[in-house]
């Protein structure tokens, strides 16, 4: 038997014998000829089987006609036949005239989801939902995006780490911790690799990155929150300010978007009607207080009194930046120390502000970054100001008692970036298997 060929590679082959395997998408079982659209992980092709008749014109029940008549949508088959290039064929200008058809697995005829099924219903049957070419493309884009990030990191001498996801104490807010039994004590699922990223700076690694899971016990039901998500993290030493972190962040995103556009831009346009735009450097930077004033002048006043920017404010400032600068990204900088973690460095001469930023992409925050406080005495005092007991942070604080350079970094949500890149309405669409407050399956 001929070796299996991916459907996407058929057009480059000469006419002749081929073998393909895939899922049955549609069957047209006509009197004189049968047509099957077969899809594998790379694309779709039309199969054609002229039916045999006797001298009186009566259709003969032979193979592969009988097997084709029994096919249900989603059945997995392996076929052999003659590849033929024919520009009249709408599906790719090629077709395969069948010789043999083997039914590997026959699908249940009643499909549990359809094109108009609700998102929750589609999540229940995610493995079927993922057969959709749009869904398939999302995860090929994800692969390209991550590969481009890793290429940049590796080419620039970063070290990849895999930090623990079981922790003895909180890395961020203790209110958002998942507690798990751990032998005769308790452990917590890591909300962030934050402390371990900083330990790498004390260890002398200089530059590190990680792409891994993070967990937040946040009972949010918004389109951009999940209880388990993939976090993209990087940390660098020998910085002068958070500007160095923002410059790294820009370089990474430009590299990743360039790779996605080059490899998948045409498909994204066809399936999502979206143009992948490679952002120009530098990204616009707006201090948070100024951003609030801008949206106020444009008719919206951020209602919060906790010094943060709310989701509507993010959308408004993004719209302003798009109109003013023609840019999909904007760094909001200089967040108040009152809403930032104790380990964010304060402004020199103004302890009320931090050397930190949020990165907004197409109206939604995708990342937080900052210069970290590396001076142990200042760090202890800032922890106390936040109501934290330094004794409970001893393991973390020890990192800074033996010499550590000025450093900073960021954490970025992978699913949010993909969602906003493809103009999707929920991170559930771009997460392989979503986890939220009410979803633990499949």
Tell me the binding residues for L-aspartate.
Answer: 172, 216, 368, 372
Binding site, annotated residues for ATP = 365, 413-416
What residues form the annotated binding site? 172, 216, 365, 368, 372, 413-416
Tell me how far apart the alpha carbons of residues 294 and 227 are, in angstroms, rounded to a whole number. Answer: 33
What is the rounded distance in angstroms from the CA atom of residue 193 to the CA atom of residue 212? 9
First to last CA, the chain: 37
Residues sharing a CB contact under 8 Å with residue 410, sequence separation 6 or more, in sequence order: 233, 234, 245, 248, 249, 359, 367, 368, 369, 370
Q: Which of 296, 299, 303, 360 is nearest to 331 (CA)?
A: 360
The CA distance from 334 to 288, in Å, is: 6
Q: At what angle do helices 414-421 and 133-155 cross, to 10 degrees?
A: 120
């Amino acid at each position: 038997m001929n070796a299996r060929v991916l459907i996407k590679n058929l057009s480059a082959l000469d006419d002749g014998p081929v073998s393909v395997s895939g899922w049955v998408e549609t069957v047209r079982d006509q009197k004189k000829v049968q047509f099957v659209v077969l899809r594998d992980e790379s694309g779709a092709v039309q199969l054609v089987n002229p039916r045999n008749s006797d001298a009186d014109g009566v259709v003969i029940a032979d193979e592969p006609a009988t097997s084709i008549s029994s096919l249900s949508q989603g059945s997995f088959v392996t076929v052999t036949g003659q590849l033929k290039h024919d520009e009249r064929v709408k599906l790719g200008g090629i077709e395969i005239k069948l010789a043999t058809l083997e039914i590997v697995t026959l699908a249940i005829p009643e499909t549990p989801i359809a094109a108009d099924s609700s998102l929750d219903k589609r999540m229940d049957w995610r493995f079927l939902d993922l057969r959709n070419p749009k869904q398939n493309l999302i995860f090929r884009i994800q692969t390209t995006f991550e590969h481009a990030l890793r290429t940049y990191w590796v080419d620039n001498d970063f070290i990849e780490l895999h930090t623990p996801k079981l922790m003895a104490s909180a890395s961020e807010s203790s209110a958002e911790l998942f507690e798990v039994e751990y032998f005769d004590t308790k452990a917590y699922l890591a909300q962030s690799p934050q402390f371990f990223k900083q330990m790498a700076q004390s260890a002398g690694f200089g530059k590190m990155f990680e792409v891994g899971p993070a967990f937040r016990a946040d009972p949010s039901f918004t389109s951009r929150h999940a209880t388990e998500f993939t976090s993209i993290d990087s940390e660098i030493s020998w910085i002068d300010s958070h500007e160095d972190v923002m410059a790294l962040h820009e370089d990474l995103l430009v590299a990743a978007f360039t790779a996605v556009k080059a490899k998948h831009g045409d498909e994204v346009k066809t399936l999502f009607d979206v143009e992948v735009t490679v952002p120009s450097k530098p990204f616009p930077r707006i201090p948070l207080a100024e951003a609030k004033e801008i949206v106020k002048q444009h008719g919206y006043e951020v209602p919060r009194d906790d010094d943060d920017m709310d989701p509507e404010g993010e959308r408004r400032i993004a719209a302003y930046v798009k109109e003013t600068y023609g840019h999909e990204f904007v760094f909001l900088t200089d967040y108040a120390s009152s809403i930032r973690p104790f380990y964010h460095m304060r402004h020199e001469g103004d302890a009320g502000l931090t050397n930190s930023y949020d990165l907004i992409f197409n109206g939604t925050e995708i990342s937080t970054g900052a210069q970290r406080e590396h001076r142990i005495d200042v760090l202890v005092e800032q922890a106390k100001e936040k109501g934290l007991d330094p004794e409970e942070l001893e393991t973390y604080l020890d990192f800074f008692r033996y010499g550590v350079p000025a450093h900073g970094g960021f954490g970025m949500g992978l699913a949010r970036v993909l969602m906003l890149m493809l103009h999707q309405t929920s991170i559930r669409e771009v997460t392989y298997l979503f986890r939220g407050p009410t979803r633990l399956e499949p």
